[in-house]
Amino acid sequence: MKVNQATIDLVKKWEGFKADAYLCPAGVWTIGYGTTSRAGVGLSVTKGMRISETEAEYYLQKGLDKFAAQIRPHITAPINENEFGAFVSLAYNIGPRAFIGSSALRHFNAGDLARAADSIKLWNKATVNGKRQVLRGLVNRREDEVRLFQTPAPAKPFEVTDVAPKKERSSPAQSTTMQAAGVQVLSGAGTAAGAISMLDGRAQLIAVGLAAVVMLAALWIMRERLKKWANGVR
């Protein structure tokens, strides 16, 4: 399941682009759009580091895709792209492990969307100067995530179903229509042969006549199928 643009825009809005590494309120070195070393996207963030906005977008996308892949197997209820995006944004902010153990996920999997939305709002605290406290920025971010969570989206479930591609036929003989017609021809021929060997007189003529009708119908079907093949219908 891919992360939609609404989710990317939401994360960009709240993380904000910062070219120079900085300490977030929790005391973790962060850069770009909220990327940290713990994100595991191939970037070790240290004091004095500087990156471009293009690089920041690259690491943001990697981080979102990684977190999306980590949380997706734990979502067992049907989900649309906006609900999923809200969860990805939350996981990007609090970490996938915290999200997987959250009441937001538990209520969602139980089918209680209202309680799931309320539970998203609970993640509004951070440790600042050794104390756990509510941060206005986190409160506002959670409200945006809930807004995305509750925004109508394509019908559930937002899934990609793997369907084996249909193989193009290389000859008319591979057509099921041609194969069925061939069976009819053989069946008609068999009926005619049986009539000649086992029946006499008028019954023989009737059986041979019926067999001929079956064979002619099958041959007509085969002719029509060959015409379609010649016109590119495979």
Terminal CA-CA length for the chain: 33
Give, as one character, the DSSP assignment of residue 231: T
Name the residue ranges covered by the structural domains of the chain: 5-149, 172-230
Of 61-70, 113-122, 163-172, 207-216, the range with the lowest mean pLDDT is 163-172
% of residues, the chain, pLDDT over 70: 67
Measured distance CA(160)–CA(79) in Å, rounded = 12
Q: Measuring CA to CA, which residue among 149, 3, 164, 155 is closest to residue 82?
A: 149
- Is the dihedral angle over the CA atoms 106, 111, 115, 118 positive or is it negative? positive
The pTM (predicted TM-score) of the whole model is: 0.63
Name the amino acid, one letter, at 230: A
Give 127's pLDDT tier (boundaries 50, 70, 90).
Answer: confident
Residue 95 in this model has a pLDDT that exceeds 80: yes
Encoded tokens for 71 = 């949380």
pLDDT tens-digit series, residues 13-24: 999 999 999 998
pLDDT of residue 138: 95
Which residues are CB-neighbours of 97 under 8 A, at least 6 positions away?
Answer: none
Q: Which CATH architecture has domain 5-149?
A: Orthogonal Bundle (1.10)
pLDDT tens-digit series, residues 177-221: 555 555 455 555 555 555 555 556 666 666 656 666 666 766 757
**Taking residues 70-96, what's their average pLDDT?**
96
**Taking residues 119-143, what's their average pLDDT?**
92
pLDDT tens-digit series, residues 23-80: 987 789 999 999 999 888 999 999 999 999 999 999 999 999 999 999 999 999 999 9
pLDDT of residue 87: 98
Strands 125-128 and 131-134: antiparallel
Helix axes 201-230, 176-198, angle to 10 degrees: 160
Strands 125-128 and 18-23: unpaired
Residues marked active site are found at 15, 24
Residue 126 in this model has a pLDDT that exceeds 90: no
Measured distance CA(216)–CA(171) in Å, rounded = 22
